Amino acid sequence: MKNCGQFRELFRANALGALDAEQRAALEAHLAAGCKDCASQLADMAPQAAPSDMPNGRLSQIVRGEVQLTSPPSLARAAAVPFWMWAGAAALLALTVYSTWNGQQLEQKIRAANARAAALLQHRHDLEAELERTRRECVILTDPASIRIDLAPQDPQAPRIEAKWHAKLGMVLTGQKVPAPTGNRILQLWLIPKTPGGKPIPSLTLRPGAAGKFDLLVRNPPELMEQTKALAITEEPEGGSQAPTTPVRWVGAIS
Protein backbone atom coordinates (compact mmCIF):
# COMPACT_ATOMS: atom_id res chain seq x y z
CA MET A 1 0.00 0.00 0.00
CA LYS A 2 1.59 3.23 -1.28
CA ASN A 3 -0.98 5.54 0.20
CA CYS A 4 -0.75 5.14 4.02
CA GLY A 5 -3.30 7.85 4.76
CA GLN A 6 -6.11 5.30 4.83
CA PHE A 7 -4.53 3.67 7.87
CA ARG A 8 -4.38 6.91 9.97
CA GLU A 9 -7.86 6.38 11.37
CA LEU A 10 -7.02 2.75 11.93
CA PHE A 11 -3.95 3.85 13.91
CA ARG A 12 -6.12 6.01 16.16
CA ALA A 13 -8.76 3.30 16.56
CA ASN A 14 -6.02 0.73 17.30
CA ALA A 15 -4.59 2.99 19.99
CA LEU A 16 -8.05 3.12 21.58
CA GLY A 17 -8.56 -0.65 21.14
CA ALA A 18 -11.59 -0.13 18.89
CA LEU A 19 -10.57 -2.19 15.81
CA ASP A 20 -12.48 -5.26 14.88
CA ALA A 21 -10.72 -8.44 13.85
CA GLU A 22 -10.73 -7.70 10.11
CA GLN A 23 -9.39 -4.15 10.52
CA ARG A 24 -6.71 -5.32 12.98
CA ALA A 25 -5.63 -8.04 10.51
CA ALA A 26 -5.32 -5.46 7.66
CA LEU A 27 -3.27 -3.08 9.84
CA GLU A 28 -0.96 -5.86 11.02
CA ALA A 29 -0.48 -7.05 7.42
CA HIS A 30 0.44 -3.47 6.32
CA LEU A 31 2.94 -3.11 9.11
CA ALA A 32 4.37 -6.56 8.33
CA ALA A 33 4.99 -5.41 4.76
CA GLY A 34 7.68 -3.09 6.16
CA CYS A 35 6.10 0.37 5.95
CA LYS A 36 8.43 2.47 8.09
CA ASP A 37 6.28 5.60 7.90
CA CYS A 38 3.26 3.82 9.35
CA ALA A 39 5.38 2.16 12.00
CA SER A 40 6.81 5.56 13.00
CA GLN A 41 3.37 7.17 13.08
CA LEU A 42 2.03 4.28 15.18
CA ALA A 43 4.87 4.71 17.66
CA ASP A 44 4.24 8.46 17.92
CA MET A 45 0.56 7.89 18.60
CA ALA A 46 1.24 5.43 21.47
CA PRO A 47 0.51 7.15 24.85
CA GLN A 48 3.60 7.98 26.91
CA ALA A 49 2.35 6.45 30.12
CA ALA A 50 4.26 7.46 33.19
CA PRO A 51 5.28 4.56 35.34
CA SER A 52 2.61 3.83 37.95
CA ASP A 53 3.31 4.55 41.53
CA MET A 54 1.40 1.43 42.54
CA PRO A 55 4.17 -1.10 41.78
CA ASN A 56 6.70 1.03 43.63
CA GLY A 57 4.36 1.50 46.54
CA ARG A 58 3.52 -2.18 46.56
CA LEU A 59 7.20 -3.02 46.38
CA SER A 60 7.92 -0.70 49.30
CA GLN A 61 5.14 -2.31 51.32
CA ILE A 62 6.47 -5.76 50.50
CA VAL A 63 10.01 -4.72 51.41
CA ARG A 64 8.82 -3.18 54.68
CA GLY A 65 6.77 -6.28 55.44
CA GLU A 66 9.73 -8.53 54.82
CA VAL A 67 11.89 -6.36 57.03
CA GLN A 68 9.29 -6.52 59.79
CA LEU A 69 8.98 -10.29 59.44
CA THR A 70 12.69 -10.95 59.37
CA SER A 71 13.80 -8.32 61.87
CA PRO A 72 14.06 -9.59 65.49
CA PRO A 73 11.76 -7.95 68.06
CA SER A 74 13.27 -5.21 70.10
CA LEU A 75 14.94 -6.11 73.34
CA ALA A 76 12.59 -3.88 75.27
CA ARG A 77 9.51 -5.64 73.83
CA ALA A 78 11.05 -9.08 74.30
CA ALA A 79 12.01 -8.28 77.84
CA ALA A 80 8.64 -6.81 78.76
CA VAL A 81 6.67 -9.07 81.17
CA PRO A 82 3.03 -8.40 81.97
CA PHE A 83 2.34 -7.08 85.48
CA TRP A 84 -0.05 -9.93 86.26
CA MET A 85 2.76 -12.40 85.57
CA TRP A 86 5.07 -10.62 88.04
CA ALA A 87 2.24 -10.50 90.58
CA GLY A 88 1.58 -14.21 90.12
CA ALA A 89 5.23 -15.09 90.54
CA ALA A 90 5.46 -12.96 93.69
CA ALA A 91 2.32 -14.56 95.10
CA LEU A 92 3.68 -18.03 94.36
CA LEU A 93 6.99 -17.19 96.05
CA ALA A 94 5.17 -15.80 99.09
CA LEU A 95 3.00 -18.91 99.27
CA THR A 96 6.06 -21.15 99.05
CA VAL A 97 7.86 -19.24 101.82
CA TYR A 98 4.76 -19.28 104.02
CA SER A 99 4.17 -22.98 103.39
CA THR A 100 7.78 -23.77 104.30
CA TRP A 101 7.62 -21.64 107.44
CA ASN A 102 4.23 -23.06 108.38
CA GLY A 103 5.52 -26.61 107.85
CA GLN A 104 8.52 -25.92 110.09
CA GLN A 105 6.28 -24.40 112.76
CA LEU A 106 3.96 -27.40 112.56
CA GLU A 107 6.89 -29.80 112.80
CA GLN A 108 8.21 -27.97 115.87
CA LYS A 109 4.77 -28.09 117.48
CA ILE A 110 4.50 -31.81 116.76
CA ARG A 111 7.94 -32.45 118.29
CA ALA A 112 7.05 -30.36 121.33
CA ALA A 113 3.71 -32.19 121.68
CA ASN A 114 5.48 -35.56 121.38
CA ALA A 115 8.03 -34.50 123.99
CA ARG A 116 5.26 -33.38 126.36
CA ALA A 117 3.36 -36.61 125.77
CA ALA A 118 6.50 -38.67 126.42
CA ALA A 119 7.22 -36.68 129.59
CA LEU A 120 3.63 -37.13 130.78
CA LEU A 121 3.78 -40.83 130.00
CA GLN A 122 7.08 -41.19 131.86
CA HIS A 123 5.66 -39.22 134.77
CA ARG A 124 2.65 -41.51 134.81
CA HIS A 125 4.91 -44.57 134.84
CA ASP A 126 6.94 -43.05 137.68
CA LEU A 127 3.79 -42.32 139.65
CA GLU A 128 2.49 -45.83 139.07
CA ALA A 129 5.84 -47.31 140.13
CA GLU A 130 5.91 -45.09 143.22
CA LEU A 131 2.32 -46.04 144.05
CA GLU A 132 3.11 -49.75 143.65
CA ARG A 133 6.23 -49.33 145.82
CA THR A 134 4.25 -47.52 148.51
CA ARG A 135 1.56 -50.19 148.54
CA ARG A 136 4.18 -52.92 148.76
CA GLU A 137 5.93 -51.19 151.65
CA CYS A 138 2.62 -50.67 153.46
CA VAL A 139 1.81 -54.38 153.19
CA ILE A 140 5.28 -55.38 154.40
CA LEU A 141 5.18 -52.95 157.33
CA THR A 142 1.65 -53.87 158.44
CA ASP A 143 1.33 -57.56 157.59
CA PRO A 144 1.56 -59.73 160.74
CA ALA A 145 3.50 -62.26 158.66
CA SER A 146 6.41 -59.83 158.39
CA ILE A 147 9.30 -60.33 160.82
CA ARG A 148 10.73 -57.32 162.60
CA ILE A 149 14.52 -57.08 162.85
CA ASP A 150 16.27 -54.45 165.02
CA LEU A 151 19.76 -53.53 163.85
CA ALA A 152 21.76 -52.24 166.80
CA PRO A 153 24.64 -49.81 166.14
CA GLN A 154 28.20 -50.68 167.17
CA ASP A 155 28.53 -47.01 168.15
CA PRO A 156 26.35 -46.33 171.19
CA GLN A 157 25.78 -42.76 169.97
CA ALA A 158 24.30 -43.88 166.61
CA PRO A 159 20.54 -44.46 166.17
CA ARG A 160 19.01 -47.88 165.67
CA ILE A 161 17.82 -49.13 162.27
CA GLU A 162 14.70 -51.27 161.82
CA ALA A 163 13.82 -53.86 159.16
CA LYS A 164 10.55 -55.61 158.34
CA TRP A 165 10.94 -58.76 156.23
CA HIS A 166 8.05 -60.42 154.43
CA ALA A 167 8.85 -63.90 153.08
CA LYS A 168 7.12 -63.18 149.72
CA LEU A 169 7.11 -59.41 149.27
CA GLY A 170 10.61 -58.52 150.43
CA MET A 171 12.12 -56.27 153.07
CA VAL A 172 11.74 -52.62 154.15
CA LEU A 173 14.69 -50.99 155.91
CA THR A 174 14.04 -47.67 157.70
CA GLY A 175 16.16 -45.27 159.73
CA GLN A 176 15.94 -41.87 161.43
CA LYS A 177 18.77 -39.39 162.10
CA VAL A 178 21.32 -41.77 160.64
CA PRO A 179 24.57 -39.87 159.85
CA ALA A 180 25.57 -40.03 156.18
CA PRO A 181 29.02 -41.40 155.32
CA THR A 182 31.65 -38.86 154.37
CA GLY A 183 32.67 -38.17 150.79
CA ASN A 184 31.28 -40.49 148.14
CA ARG A 185 30.91 -43.46 150.45
CA ILE A 186 27.58 -45.19 151.07
CA LEU A 187 25.94 -47.70 153.42
CA GLN A 188 25.45 -51.27 152.18
CA LEU A 189 23.14 -54.00 153.48
CA TRP A 190 24.44 -57.57 153.89
CA LEU A 191 22.61 -60.84 154.47
CA ILE A 192 24.55 -63.14 156.84
CA PRO A 193 23.80 -66.80 155.97
CA LYS A 194 23.15 -69.53 158.57
CA THR A 195 25.62 -71.84 156.88
CA PRO A 196 28.81 -72.07 158.97
CA GLY A 197 31.60 -70.14 157.27
CA GLY A 198 29.16 -68.68 154.74
CA LYS A 199 30.17 -65.37 153.25
CA PRO A 200 27.96 -62.27 153.64
CA ILE A 201 25.69 -61.77 150.61
CA PRO A 202 25.71 -58.21 149.24
CA SER A 203 22.35 -56.45 148.92
CA LEU A 204 21.29 -52.88 148.11
CA THR A 205 23.10 -49.67 149.02
CA LEU A 206 21.66 -46.48 150.52
CA ARG A 207 22.60 -42.98 151.56
CA PRO A 208 20.57 -41.13 154.23
CA GLY A 209 19.03 -37.80 153.36
CA ALA A 210 19.75 -34.43 154.91
CA ALA A 211 17.81 -35.31 158.09
CA GLY A 212 19.38 -38.75 158.25
CA LYS A 213 16.15 -40.42 157.12
CA PHE A 214 15.94 -43.27 154.64
CA ASP A 215 13.40 -45.85 153.47
CA LEU A 216 14.84 -48.75 151.46
CA LEU A 217 12.71 -51.41 149.76
CA VAL A 218 14.51 -54.69 149.01
CA ARG A 219 12.09 -56.45 146.67
CA ASN A 220 13.86 -59.77 146.20
CA PRO A 221 16.40 -60.71 148.87
CA PRO A 222 18.92 -63.11 147.31
CA GLU A 223 18.35 -65.74 149.98
CA LEU A 224 15.26 -67.08 151.69
CA MET A 225 14.51 -65.84 155.16
CA GLU A 226 15.00 -69.33 156.61
CA GLN A 227 18.60 -69.38 155.30
CA THR A 228 19.56 -65.99 156.79
CA LYS A 229 20.57 -65.58 160.45
CA ALA A 230 21.30 -61.84 160.57
CA LEU A 231 21.37 -58.50 158.72
CA ALA A 232 24.42 -56.22 158.77
CA ILE A 233 25.31 -52.76 157.41
CA THR A 234 28.81 -51.50 156.56
CA GLU A 235 30.25 -48.40 154.98
CA GLU A 236 31.50 -49.03 151.44
CA PRO A 237 32.79 -47.15 148.40
CA GLU A 238 30.18 -45.68 146.09
CA GLY A 239 28.67 -48.41 143.93
CA GLY A 240 28.94 -51.05 146.64
CA SER A 241 31.25 -54.00 147.18
CA GLN A 242 31.11 -57.75 146.71
CA ALA A 243 32.55 -58.30 150.17
CA PRO A 244 32.63 -56.02 153.26
CA THR A 245 35.67 -53.70 153.30
CA THR A 246 35.00 -52.04 156.70
CA PRO A 247 33.82 -53.25 160.13
CA VAL A 248 30.09 -53.76 160.64
CA ARG A 249 28.33 -50.60 161.87
CA TRP A 250 24.86 -52.12 162.44
CA VAL A 251 23.83 -55.74 162.95
CA GLY A 252 20.58 -57.49 163.85
CA ALA A 253 19.80 -61.17 164.36
CA ILE A 254 16.70 -62.84 162.88
CA SER A 255 14.84 -64.65 165.61
Domains of the chain by start residue, with CATH: 4-42 (no CATH), 147-253 (2.60.40)
The pLDDT value recorded for residue 63 is: 44
The pLDDT value recorded for residue 144 is: 94
Q: Which residues of the chain have pLDDT under 70?
A: 1-3, 5-8, 11, 14-19, 39, 41-81, 222-223
The pLDDT value recorded for residue 71 is: 47
Q: Kindly report the number of other CB atoms within 10 A of residue 34's CB atom.
A: 8
Q: Name, in order, each residue with C-beta under 8 angstroms of 42's C-beta and a sequence gap of 6 or more.
A: 11, 14, 31
| pLDDT one-digit tens code per residue, 72-123 | 554 445 456 677 778 888 888 888 888 888 888 888 889 899 999 999 999 9
The pLDDT value recorded for residue 73 is: 53
The pLDDT value recorded for residue 233 is: 97
User: 63 to each of 51, 55, 123, how far by Cα in Å?
Assistant: 19, 12, 90
The pLDDT value recorded for residue 176 is: 93
